[in-house]
Amino acid sequence: AQSVAQPEDQVNVAEGNPLTVKCTYSVSGNPYLFWYVQYPNRGLQFLLKYITGDNLVKGSYGFEAEFNKSQTSFHLKKPSALVSDSALYFCAVSTAGNNRKLIWGLGTSLAVNP
Amino acid sequence: DTGVSQNPRHKITKRGQNVTFRCDPISEHNRLYWYRQTLGQGPEFLTYFQNEAQLEKSRLLSDRFSAERPKGSFSTLEIQRTEQGDSAMYLCASSAGGGTANQPQHFGDGTRLSIL
């Protein structure tokens, strides 16, 4: 069965420090991987995706993610965190042939402290 | 703003009442999805349309739930005889088609349903 794991419920970082939000996945076939961010009482905003090609994907708001096939991971990173990055982050995966349905992680709450 | 629009943003109703939510997707998107999200959880897939055809429906969706997308544009989600457990945020998303799984889904801000 396909699944996504976000092993950390919460991540705390100081403003200006690098941040990492972890995601691992389990799929049969080639994965399509996505990161979304959710602010309070809002829908999810697309940040970036990995489909194929370079393992390092750059997205919105200075975020990037590294696809690691051997570790089945797709960790979200940012070199210098901002207080405004504090939000809920979701990793999701889909594969071709599954009606484009996304399988979601449970989310990681990121708190960036001033 | 030409993003995904959901109405109403909030709905408070008594248990047993029927409610209907509307979603207007991004105009050129032919795929439309409904999700349910409760506090501290990721989105749960409910159903999915390609144009006007409802192609998949989650087993989570009881027969009290029905969704339509009559002309392949906006969609409605109706819940009949609401129950306390229906209290959640209902999210709509749309994406471009093309037969691939790699198009990102774009979400509306959701309808928060509270059952009294």
| Rounded Cα–Cα distance for residues B45 and A102 (Å) | 8
8 Å CB contact of B43 and A90: yes
Token pair belonging to B94:
């749309």
Of A90, A95, A100, the CB nearest to B42: A90
B15 Cβ contact list (under 8 Å, min separation 6): B82, B83, B84, B115, B116
* B40 lies within 8 A of chain A by CB: yes
Q: Which parts of chain B have pLDDT scores under 50?
A: none
Q: Decide if pLDDT at A98 tops 60.
A: no
8 Å CB contact of B55 and A34: no
Q: Decide if pLDDT at A97 tops 70.
A: no
Which chain A residues are Cβ-neighbours of B101 within 8 angstroms?
A: 32, 94-98, 100
What's residue A54's pLDDT?
A: 87
| Rounded Cα–Cα distance for residues B12 and A61 (Å) | 35
Q: Name the residue in chain B with its Cα closest to that of A51.
A: B102
What's residue B42's pLDDT?
A: 87
Q: Decide if pLDDT at A99 tops 60.
A: no
pLDDT digits (tens, 9 = 90+) for A54-81: 899 999 999 999 999 999 999 999 999 9
What's residue B40's pLDDT?
A: 80
What's residue A87's pLDDT?
A: 96
